[in-house]
Amino acid sequence: MVITLSFVIVRMMPGNPMGAMIQQLERRGMDPVRARELVELRLSIDPTKPIPAAYVDYMINMAQGNLGRSTYYQETVVDIIAQALPWTLFVLSWATFISFFIGISVGALMAYWEGGKLDVGLTSWAILMGSIPFYVLAIMLLIFMAYRWGWFPVGGRRPTGVDPGLTWPYISGVVRHAALPILSMIVASGVASLGMRGNAIRVLGEDYLRVARLRGLSDVTISTQYVARNAILPMYTTLLIGIGEMFGGSVILEQVFQYRGIGWYMLSATYQRDYPLMMGGFVVITLAVVFALLLADLTYGYLDPRAKGQESEVY
């Protein structure tokens, strides 16, 4: 349903690939008639084809693994996605897992010292950072840490003048180019710590913790074996849902840092009215969200047997 809706919305957008390419050639000084002839030779789709017929053709091709050919880059959409997806996954995976680890750690501290100065300070900071859009923080980091202080590159995804390979100059350059996008998503993630704080406070009030204290168990054992394990379980779903949502956020983030991932190509395709590439990006994001939700739904019961309705014995 999402793919169908996306297809209709994309095709109903003002303009079409032919008009966008003709305008681009005309701005370069080419004769309009000659520009139209070149565009007709270059286009790999018929933008004037009725939407129902184009939809049927697209779904048949997609079922065969054929997402079409980009009208702007003149490459297959599968090849473009295969080149861009690893870079997006590199940034999103590090940002997601680092944010999750910091969130559960900070949230546990906030719950342990509930009502104290540390709790109030960290809660205020988490609310503030969670309220600021990550792309605003990205622009601020880019201005100060890249343009003014020169600590990181201002854009791109890998170092220039360095041959790709498992060498320190190349690997360190890739990490430096990805550092600011990752950092902007980490700083803006305050929801995980607030969620962990709420879960931990709820767990701290359970009866089995009183039994554990009466048994003489140490605070370390109680905090790790009882509180942490039960408080982290609901965060597992949040982690997987966050992975899917971050794919949508990559469209703006990669544009800010000129990081050529899936999001960057999707926005470029929107400007050029590149229908096949736009739909290919939508398909990837849709599959990421659906797969993350499905994985969370199928595996949560194994992590927490109570979700299956099984009786669990509390020791």
d(CA 300, CA 83): 32
Given a cut of 60, whether residue 197 has pLDDT beyond it is yes
Look up tokens 């790999």; give the residue.
44
- Spans of all domains in the chain: 2-63, 87-199+232-302
Q: Do the Cβ atoms of 76 and 69 come closer than 8 Å?
A: yes
Given a cut of 50, whether residue 312 has pLDDT beyond it is no
Any residues with CB less than 8 A from the CB of 76 and at least 6 apart, and which?
A: 67, 68, 69, 70
Which class does domain 87-199+232-302 fall in?
A: mainly alpha
pLDDT digits (tens, 9 = 90+) for 96-135: 888 888 888 788 777 777 777 888 888 888 888 877 777 7
Any residues with CB less than 8 A from the CB of 279 and at least 6 apart, and which?
A: 3, 6, 7, 10, 58, 67, 68, 77
Q: What is the mean pLDDT of residues 82-102?
A: 85
pLDDT for position 44: 47
Question: What mean pLDDT is reported for the chain?
Answer: 77
**Tokens describing residue 243:** 């992975």
d(CA 217, CA 162): 56
User: What is the distance of C-alpha 11 from the center of its chain?
Assistant: 25
pLDDT digits (tens, 9 = 90+) for 155-190: 787 877 777 777 888 888 888 888 888 888 887 776
d(CA 9, CA 51): 10
Given a cut of 60, whether residue 314 has pLDDT beyond it is no
Tell me if residue 148 falls in helix, strand or coil: helix
Taking the model in full, what pTM does it have? 0.74
Given a cut of 80, whether residue 79 has pLDDT beyond it is yes
Number of CB atoms found within 10 A of residue 9's CB: 11
d(CA 49, CA 314): 64
